[in-house]
Chain A
Amino acid sequence: MSTLLKKSTAVLCLAALITGFSSCKKDNKNPSTEEPVTENTYSLRVTSGTPAATYILQTGSITSGTINTAGNGVETKLTTLTTKDGYYYGFDNDSGNLVKYTSNNKTNTIIKEIPFTQISWAYYSSFYKWKDDKTLVLFSSNSAIQFEYAILNIETMAITASGKINVPGLKADHYFWGYNAAFIGEKFYLTYTQNRNSDDISEGVTYLATMDYPAMNNITVTQDSRFTLPEHYTLNMPASFTENGVAYFLASPNIWTSANKNQPFGIYRVKGGATQIDPDYFYELTDRNKEEALGLFYIGNGKAITKILDKTQITGSGSYGSAYITDYYVIDVANQTKTKINIPKSLSGSFSENVLVENGIVSIAANTVDGFYIYQYNISTAAVTRGAKLEGVSGLTRLEKIK
């Protein structure tokens, strides 16, 4: 059960990954004196220095110019889970309280902070899904052995329902791992695997738990042994999307999160109304011994962008941060094809939400040997241009449009 022991450090690790070692912020507690929405429209959550501190930068343009942390951006200890309509939703790292806030390159302003003790939230074992524009559903696996949920109304900032999700079938001396989930209509589809406590190796099976929303009951579980490890840490980077009532998910037994070997990196899917993973579909994305695939950023029309890493250059966890091993590919889940985007190989930014889609343009923040740039990929022409340069930035964990 080494992984459960690991958890404590993992919490710290991932919290640090997301927020920086010792970051902090000044919160303005008086929302009435601050404009809730800034005039800038893009937000970048970045780290700088070693040990790293975390900053929220905002900018009006990501297609040109430079974005710099020198004297600019908010040093922050609030995490960001997600953003919507000008607001950030996340946690106060210390107290674990849920916060809704804005940011303006100078300070963060907390709009509402509420206690969040209904479920056991932890970065290594939690994830979220938007049910609709007003409803954010937060999930935890409480130490990887008991799934839990809490439904947040983002307008009132109130938890309207919470409880346990009693997914049956956890084997003795195993724990749940690899959570990749989707809503299709009023059903919630949760895919996962089970890892052995003794060595953290997945048993080579992927499960699908289907349940009713919002009651989170009427649960059926089926299994599929063609692949294992739905992508983990989906809290920080999407690894699924839903199109036309079909949910597509990435299986990613990457070295970063798993001790598995010789398992496929690929796309599997669940059709709305089904209770099992589509047995006729699996799109293996890479040569499993030479490449890893991470992240699934939906760009429309059955397409998504994924990061493909040169596995032969990985020599340990450190490689993810210091080796230029990442390429970006457009994958077509229907035709099962993939096309490399013409961006130089970059540092992995493994679990960063660094791909943003708007109006047919995909912006990708990539730290290449030429520097840290936000590249623009035109979906219709496949042309790539190099946009804004990031200066004084060691890493980027989120790139998002605020307004």
Chain B
Amino acid sequence: MDPQLAPPSTSHGSSIRLDRVTRSFAEVAAVAEVSLECAEGSFTALVGPSGCGKTTLLRLMGGLDHADRGTVTRESMRTSFCFQEPRLLPWRTTIENVALPLELAGVPRAQRIERANDALEQVQLSDAAQRFPHQLSGGMMMRASLARALVSRPQLLLLDEPFAALDEVTRYELDAQLRALWESQRFTAVIVTHSIPEAVFLAQRVLVFTPRPARIIAEVETPHDQRDAHAWTSDAMGTCVRKASDFLLAGISEQRR
């Protein structure tokens, strides 16, 4: 069966493992000896200072870049990427953009339209199916981008600061939506973000990185089973955010010394 046509299951067999991965650009190390493993169905957030190499790490995970040393083992067959920018094709309508991964995989038109409609419904963007990208707001474009990442029913979803450019209210809304989608579909998710509260809200664990070259300095478990409508302001979340922030600041201070 075409993997694109396989029905979604509640338990995917995907996981990704990085073993002593190093990547340099023009002899400047972006990632140094990073080892990590994401269990199937887990949600991991990578946080660190700007330019520390988080995005490089995510690109290595997605196969968009290759490590100089070390190995990246991706057991998942279906990997989707949600970039910092929506990257919608301006000459295609929203639904045509969302259906693109299926189109490239050779899924028949009727099926891909049906599935694209489902994906749009999941991100609450059905009303904008026939609109062109220039007719969408920033939040709607990111929703479309998320729908495009979800349409192929990924086992591994890699998100590179997907909501960084949005206003805070839209960002909260999309974070809640992403969180709900992950809870219902349980794909393996890895998100890179600058926002510690966002990382704590979304993920089960937060990996804190040092300034460049990226090295993991701490792993913070989040109170992921205590989320509700007020999760952003709960004490447990606050404690976790403080803990991750302390590690981050300690890493920056240590690097400066």
A and B from one assembly?
Answer: no
Name A's B-contacting residues (CB within 8 A).
Answer: none
